[in-house]
Every structure is written in structure tokens, then in C-alpha cells.
């Protein structure tokens, strides 16, 4: 146990990031458990504390009597300096235990820009960085979350990855570790890796060998080199979310964190089929919780936390079949306790506006819509089933209801995009401004146009597509900026250099591991925080390791190319993605299978699951 010295914490920002002892924290005596797991989030406390996946795992693991899960987050740069100076190893918040005392250290991979933080956390924990340098005396380093579906850039560092929903897998892993420990770790580290490789959804990268082609450098083959390994690792899935365990006593932080409120997960999965969206593929199919289950969960969480706000979360919460009924019930039940209900992202329709009105969100905050692309043609390419008319109706309803500020989200750099599409973004922004004038008879609307740069992701219909170069993205940003001259329109855009790097790692392979290590050595960390992002360091690292980043992000891939992640399956057939890529080029629409017809993506038959949607049934 580490005893915190006041001199360490008195001089860092937000010291309560490092002191734990929050309400609902679960603290077990390490001497009484057989398996201990450190759940690690590779970003600061206030970001990590909002992650639902880790809350779910924390709850499930700690409910097992002889298993303990404790939390650890990336120390901010000032705390890192203090820790290195005073030789304090990275520790968990519950028992202030160094990570080296744990059997398993599990990271969640939410985005690619967190990879250097993982390396940094291992280093601060004094755990050898390379999986090959760790034996049975070291913690097993494991990882899950969306980026595990292209785990390859982290293959050197992580012992095994967990694909898909973790609710069931995590317990099976704990069991395997318990048995292995009880046997005296007989067979060494290899034995536990063999055991977990047999668990559905677990990927042990060292059991595979990747070879590359001499001529073009593409992946030649991914060879299984261990009998315990499966040729293709397929994700795990919770078939019935309604009966799955949900954390009803989440840890309540002292400091202000992102999403500091009751979080209700309405459903998992989204099948709207936006072709750029990775989550839409990885979490298929849609599985809803019953409204009465959600109401019960809300009650339990309000009682155990004392939060004054309930937030509904899902990939597109507005699609929840019983949304209206649920929201009305929640408001009814909780309004006398001073508890409000907040809606997440709104769908672009007037129904969403009506609902927003009912929950009486603070009007000043404005409403957010995501048309994603500026023209109908491009929205058809990306399968964003939204028309200009939909947007006009929704925004019009919002203006009529008293809102005056609207935020519009777009992407630039999408496949087939031309300057016409960029101009379309500006046109939409002006149309929204004018709409207000027409409805209200005066000016006064505020429109924020927020533009991110499209990064092609693995397991999507656009995984073959070459990302726009930074110069091209900047040119498009400038073009748009020159078109948005009205003082009532504000324009936000993203750092193209971060998107460039994200593009490299999103579709990277194992050869990037050495680049990651080198960039970290040169000081890269917190790469998603623009104040810490060091583009030059990264470029130097690529150069030094003789790796061409543009091979990964800017290159158009052949539709038959073997992808570095083809042996990791979301259950969706590659053929479906290929069909969707063709459909994108043909600008043709693919229906949402949730209530429309099945487009044979392969998930339901392949994984033996089905859509659970209570529309008409509840």
C-alpha cells in the first residue's frame, strides 16, 4: 500500500483524481481474494470515470466473492512528474496498491490516440512493456473495447484482447486465472494463455504470426502458430441485455467528471447503417432493455448515488422503441425529488424536439444535430438517412419551441466528396439561419458548425478508402471557413494532424508497435489532448523506425486485400462491408434492419442472436 505524502499532492492540479475513497467505492482486503484485477483507463480520472464499460466490469468482478477489481487512471503530466521524481509506482485508488501486485491489468481501448498512455501507464507501474518480456510473475496485461477489433498495433504490449461485450467473458477469464494460480501457475504464462485462448472472444496475439509481402508491404498471411488458437476470433455478445447485470451502485466521484449523473443504457447496438460508423458494426445487432427494467434501474441508481440527473445513453437513444413512454415515466416519478432527465443526441426529426421540450432541457444550451454531410448526394453515400426537409422540420420545430441556438455536426474528407459537398455545409448553415428569420420574423439564431475530419475505420464499409491528406483537409477547412462569414455562424474544426495519426493507427498492423514505443520514448502521451499532441515527435518516430505512415492512412486498399484485422471478427461478414462499399459508390440506401428488412450482414445467424426491439410489443 502506498502512503500518499502531502508534498506530492499539494502541488498538482485536481489532486482528488488520485485519492479515491468515493461513495460506493468497493474496497476489499487483498489478502482475502484469489484474483485481483486492475481496471485501467488510459486517460485522466474525469474522462475515465464516465466509461460505462468499466463500471459494468467493476460491478461484475467485485460481485464475485474472491475476486477484486480496483480502478486506475492515467496520471496527468504534473502528477506523472511527481511520481517519477519520488519513485512512486502507479497505484489503484481503492487500496493504493501498486499495479505489480495485481494478477491482471485490463485496459479499455476507446480510441487510438490513447495508446501511448497505455505504454506510459505500464512504465509508471514498473511492468515490463513488452508482452514477451513478462512471465508468470508479472501481471497479465489485457485489453478490450472497440479498438481491440484492430488490436494489431498493440500486439507487442498486450497478452490478450477481449472482443465484444465483456459481461460474460470477464468472469470466465477470472475463473481461468484463479484455477491457474491455484495450480501454482503450473505451465507458466503459456499455460494461462492457452486456457484463455479457448474462451470465445479472446485473442492471444502471440499465438499468431503475421507475414508481409515483399513487393507492396501488405499483409501476406496471418498464420496460427499455436494449437490453442482459433483461425478467426469472433466477438462475444450478450444475447439478452435485459437480464444482464447493470451497475446499480456506481462509484460517485467527488470531483466534477464527464457525465456525472445516472447513466441508463437503453440498448446496445445501432443498425441505422451509417457507412462511416464503426460502432454501428461492432455492436450489432440492436438489443433493447425493457422500459420497466430501465425504470427500476433508474430508481436503484438514484437511491444509491443521490444524483440529480438521469441521462439516457445508447448509440442513438432517440431510436429506443419506448422512448416517449420511458421519458414520461421518469419525469413523473422523479420530478418531486429535484431530479431531471436529460436526452442525449437528438435525432433529426420533430418527434425529438417534442421530447426535448418535455424534458425541459435548459434552452440556452442549444440543440445539436448531426447531418454529417452537406449534400443529399453525399448523405446517400454515407447512408445517413436524413433529408434537408427532415432537418428543416426539426430545426423549425426547435425554433418554434423557443430554442435559438443550434449546433450542426459534419464530417469532411468523406469518400467521393467534392467541393460542392463542402459548399453544401455552408448552404445548410445559412438555411438554418434564414429559417429562424422566416419563423420568428427577425434575426437572432446562432448556428455552430462543427466539422471533424473523417478517419476511415476498420470493420466499416469505408475500410478500403484512403483518408484525405492533411493538406486536402486543411484546404477544405479553409474553403468552408471562407464561406461561413456571417457573424451568427461560428465554425469549429479539428486538428488535422491528430486525425492523420488516428488514421494510421486505426488501420495499422503490428509493425506500428515499434513506432509507438519510440514516440512514447520521445515524450508522446495524451495525444488526444491537443495541448500535448506532439506531431514532430511522431514524424521522427516513423522516420527512425523506417515506417511510412501514409501506407496506412492515405492508401486506397484493394477490395480483396488481406486486412491486418481480418482474423478478428465482429460477426459481420466482410462481404456485407464490400456490398456496402459498392452501395456507397452507387449512392444507394440500405434500410435499418431494426424495423426494416434484414440486409444479411451475418451477425444474427453467425452469432445466434436476434434483434430485440420492443416496438409494438411493449
Residue 312, number of CB atoms within 10 A of its CB: 23
Interatomic CA distance for residues 367 and 551, integer angstroms: 39
* Nearest to ligand SF4 of 330, 584 (CB atom): 584
DSSP output for 342-407:
E--SPPSSHHHHHHHHHTT--GGG-EEEEEESSSHHHHHHTT----HHHHHHHHHHHHHTT--EEE
Q: Which is nearer to ligand SF4, 316 or 453 (CB)?
A: 316
22 binds, among another protein, ligand SF4, none (CB under 5 to 8 A by kind): another protein
- Of the candidate residues 19, 190, 368, 452, the single one contacting another protein (CB under 8 A): 19
Pick between residue 414 and residue 611 the one whose CB is nearest to ligand SF4. Answer: 611
Residue 599 binding: pick among ligand SF4, another protein, none (C-beta 5-8 Å cut-off by kind): ligand SF4
Residues 6+ away with beta carbon under 8 Å from 329: 291, 295
Site string for ligand SF4, 500-539 (x = CB under 6 A): ----------------------------------------
Q: Please give the Cα distance from 8 to 85 (Å, whole number).
A: 10
Position 258 contacts ligand SF4 (CB under 6 A): no
Which CB, 178 or 595, lies closer to ligand SF4? Answer: 595
19 touches, from ligand SF4, another protein, none (C-beta below 5 to 8 Å by class): another protein
Does 307 help bind another protein (rule: CB under 8 A)? yes
Choose the binding region for ligand SF4 from 20-28, 113-121, 320-328, 600-608 (rule: CB under 6 A): 600-608
Q: Which does 608 bind (CB under 5 to 8 A by kind): ligand SF4, another protein, none?
A: none
Angle at 371 between CA 349 and CA 458, to 5 degrees: 125
Beta-bridge partner residues of 412: 453
Binding mask 119-158 for another protein (x = CB under 8 A): ----------------------------------------
Instruction: Tell me if 589 sits within 8 A of 217, measured CB to CB.
Output: no
CB of 254 to another protein, least distance (A): 4
Among residues 256 and 531, whose Cβ is nearest to another protein? 256
Closest CA to 266 of 604, 616, 614: 614
Q: Could you tell me the maximum CA-CA distance found in the chain, to the nearest angstrom? A: 79
- 615, interface contact from another protein, ligand SF4, none, CB < 5-8 Å by kind: none
The torsion angles phi and psi of 373, rounded to 5 degrees, stand at -135, 155
Instruction: Name the binder of 285 from ligand SF4, another protein, none, CB < 5-8 A by kind.
Output: ligand SF4
Among 116, 278, 305, 470, interactor with another protein by CB under 8 A = 305
The Cα-based distances of 521 to 343, 511, 532 in angstroms read 42, 17, 15
**144 φ/ψ angles, rounded to the nearest 5 degrees:** -145, -170
Identify what 601 binds: ligand SF4, another protein, none; CB under 5 to 8 Å per kind. Answer: ligand SF4
Taking the CB of residue 423, how many other CB atoms lie within 10 A of it? Answer: 15
Q: What mask, x for binding ligand SF4 by CB under 6 A, covers residues 266 to 305? A: -----x------------xx--------------------
Looking up cell 447512408, which residue turns up? 383
Residue 16 in the binding site for another protein (CB under 8 A): yes
Q: Answer yes or no whether residue 241 interacts with ligand SF4 by CB under 6 A.
A: no
Q: What angle do CA 181, 245, 166 make, to 5 degrees?
A: 55
By CB under 8 A, tell whether 21 contacts another protein.
yes
Alpha carbon distance 549, 279 (integer Å):
24
Q: Is 490 left (phi over 0), alpha (psi -120 to 50) or beta?
A: beta
Q: Which does 611 bind (CB under 5 to 8 A by kind): another protein, ligand SF4, none?
A: ligand SF4
Within a 10 A sphere around the Cβ of 482, how many other Cβ atoms?
9
C-alpha separations of 401 from 350, 358, 363, 365, 417 in Å? 11, 11, 10, 14, 35
Phi-psi region of 24 (alpha: psi -120 to 50; beta: other; left: phi over 0): left
Give me the residue whose beta carbon is nearest to ligand SF4: 593
Cα distances (angstroms) measured from residue 90 to each of 4, 274, 329, 496, 578: 12, 40, 44, 33, 44
Task: Specify the residue, 252 or 279, whose C-beta has the smaller distance to another protein.
Answer: 252
Residue 533 — φ and ψ, nearest 5°?
A: -70, 125
Range in contact with ligand SF4 (rule: CB under 6 A) among 33-41, 198-206, 222-230, 596-604: 596-604
- Closer by beta carbon to another protein, 137 or else 364: 364
Fill in the per-residue mask, 83 to 122: x = in contact with ligand SF4 (CB under 6 A), - = not in contact: ----------------------------------------
Of 36-44, 56-64, 254-262, 597-605, which segment contacts ligand SF4 by CB under 6 A? 597-605
**Binding-site partner at residue 284 among ligand SF4, another protein, none, CB < 5 to 8 Å by type:** ligand SF4
C-beta of 149 vs 526, nearer to ligand SF4: 149
Q: What minimum distance in Å lies between the beta carbon of 543 and ligand SF4?
A: 43
- Label residues 223-261 b or e (16+ Cβ within 10 Å = b): eeeeeebbeebbbbbbeebbebebbbbbbbbeeebebbb
Which one of residues 29, 214, 215, 256 is an interface residue with another protein (CB under 8 A)? 256
Q: How far apart are CA 314 and CA 270, in angstroms?
A: 8
Q: How far apart are CA 141 and CA 337, in angstroms?
A: 44
| Number of amino acids touching another protein (CB under 8 A) | 27
- Calpha distance 371→403 (Å, rounded): 18
Taking the complex as a whole, the smallest distance from the CB of residue 22 to another protein amounts, in Å, to 8
Q: Which three cell numbers stand for residue 85?
A: 521524481
Residues found near ligand SF4 in the complex (CB under 6 A): 271, 284-285, 593, 598-601, 603-604, 611
Residues found near another protein in the complex (CB under 8 A): 5-7, 9-11, 15-16, 18-19, 21-23, 252, 254-256, 303-308, 337-338, 360, 362
Amino acid at each position: 500500500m502506498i502512503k500518499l505524502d502531502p508534498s506530492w499532492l499539494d502541488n498538482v492540479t485536481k489532486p482528488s483524481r488520485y485519492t479515491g475513497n468515493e461513495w460506493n467505492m468497493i474496497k476489499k482486503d487483498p489478502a482475502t481474494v484469489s484474483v485481483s484485477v486492475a481496471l485501467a483507463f488510459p486517460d485522466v480520472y474525469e474522462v475515465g470515470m464516465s466509461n460505462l464499460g468499466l463500471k459494468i466490469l467493476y460491478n461484475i468482478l467485485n460481485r464475485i466473492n474472491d475476486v477484486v477489481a480496483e480502478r486506475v487512471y492515467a496520471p496527468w503530466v504534473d502528477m506523472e512528474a511527481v511520481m517519477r521524481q519520488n519513485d512512486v509506482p502507479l497505484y489503484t485508488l481503492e487500496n493504493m496498491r501498486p499495479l505489480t501486485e495485481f494478477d491482471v491489468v485490463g485496459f479499455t481501448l476507446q480510441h487510438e490516440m490513447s495508446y501511448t498512455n497505455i505504454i506510459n501507464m505500464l512504465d509508471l507501474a514498473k511492468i515490463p512493456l513488452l508482452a514477451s518480456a513478462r512471465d508468470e510473475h508479472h501481471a497479465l496485461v489485457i485489453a478490450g473495447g472497440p479498438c481491440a477489433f484492430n488490436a494489431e498495433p498493440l500486439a507487442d504490449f498486450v497478452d490478450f484482447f477481449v472482443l465484444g461485450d465483456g459481461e460474460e467473458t470477464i468472469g470466465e477469464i477470472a475463473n481461468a486465472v484463479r484455477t491457474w494460480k491455484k495450480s501454482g501457475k503450473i505451465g507458466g504464462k503459456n499455460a494461462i494463455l492457452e486456457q484463455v485462448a479457448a474462451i470465445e472472444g479472446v485473442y492471444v496475439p502471440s499465438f499468431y504470426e503475421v507475414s508481409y509481402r515483399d513487393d507492396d508491404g501488405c499483409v501476406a498471411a496471418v498464420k496460427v502458430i499455436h494449437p490453442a488458437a482459433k483461425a478467426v476470433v469472433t466477438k462475444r455478445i450478450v444475447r439478452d441485455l435485459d437480464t444482464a447485470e447493470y451497475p446499480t451502485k456506481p462509484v460517485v466521484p467527488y470531483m466534477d467528471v464527464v457525465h456525472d449523473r445516472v447513466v441508463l443504457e437503453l440498448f446496445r447496438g445501432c443498425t441505422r447503417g451509417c457507412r462511416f460508423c464503426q460502432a454501428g458494426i461492432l455492436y450489432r445487432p440492436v438489443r433493447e432493455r425493457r422500459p420497466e427494467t430501465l425504470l427500476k434501474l433508474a430508481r436503484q441508481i438514484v437511491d444509491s448515488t443521490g444524483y440529480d440527473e438521469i441521462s439516457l445513453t445508447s448509440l442513438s437513444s432517440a431510436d429506443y422503441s419506448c422512448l416517449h413512454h420511458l421519458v414520461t415515466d421518469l419525469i413523473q416519478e422523479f420530478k418531486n425529488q429535484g431530479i431531471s432527465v436529460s436526452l442525449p443526441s437528438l435525432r433529426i426529426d420533430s418527434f425529438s424536439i417534442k421530447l426535448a421540450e418535455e424534458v425541459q432541457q435548459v434552452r440556452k444550451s442549444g440543440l445539436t444535430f448531426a447531418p454529417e454531410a452537406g449534400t443529399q448526394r453525399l448523405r446517400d453515400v454515407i447512408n445517413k438517412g436524413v433529408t434537408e426537409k427532415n432537418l428543416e422540420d426539426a430545426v423549425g420545430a426547435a425554433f418554434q419551441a423557443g430554442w435559438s441556438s443550434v449546433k450542426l455536426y459534419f464530417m469532411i474528407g468523406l469518400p467521393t466528396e467534392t467541393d460542392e459537398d463542402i459548399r453544401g455545409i455552408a448552404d445548410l448553415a445559412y438555411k438554418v439561419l434564414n429559417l429562424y428569420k422566416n419563423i420568428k420574423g427577425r434575426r437572432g439564431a446562432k448556428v455552430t458548425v462543427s466539422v471533424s475530419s473523417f478517419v476511415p475505420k476498420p470493420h466499416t464499409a469505408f475500410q478500403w478508402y484512403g483518408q484525405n491528406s492533411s493538406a486536402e483537409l486543411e484546404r477544405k477547412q479553409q474553403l468552408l471557413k471562407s464561406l461561413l462569414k456571417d457573424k451568427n455562424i461560428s465554425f469549429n474544426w479539428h486538428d488535422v494532424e491528430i486525425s492523420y495519426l488516428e488514421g494510421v493507427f486505426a488501420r495499422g498492423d503490428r509493425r506500428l508497435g515499434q513506432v509507438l514505443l519510440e514516440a512514447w520514448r520521445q515524450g508522446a502521451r495524451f495525444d488526444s489532448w491537443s495541448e500535448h499532441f506532439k506531431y514532430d515527435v511522431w514524424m521522427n518516430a516513423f522516420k527512425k523506425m523506417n515506417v511510412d505512415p501514409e501506407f496506412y492512412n492515405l492508401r486506397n486498399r484493394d477490395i480483396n486485400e488481406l486486412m491486418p484485422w481480418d482474423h478478428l471478427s465482429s460477426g459481420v461478414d466482410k462481404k456485407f462491408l464490400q456490398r456496402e462499399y459498392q452501395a456507397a459508390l452507387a449512392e444507394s440506401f440500405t434500410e435499418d434492419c431494426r424495423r426494416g428488412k434484414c440486409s444479411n450482414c451475418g451477425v444474427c445467424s453467425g452469432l445466434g442472436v436476434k434483434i430485440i426491439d420492443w416496438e409494438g410489443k411493449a
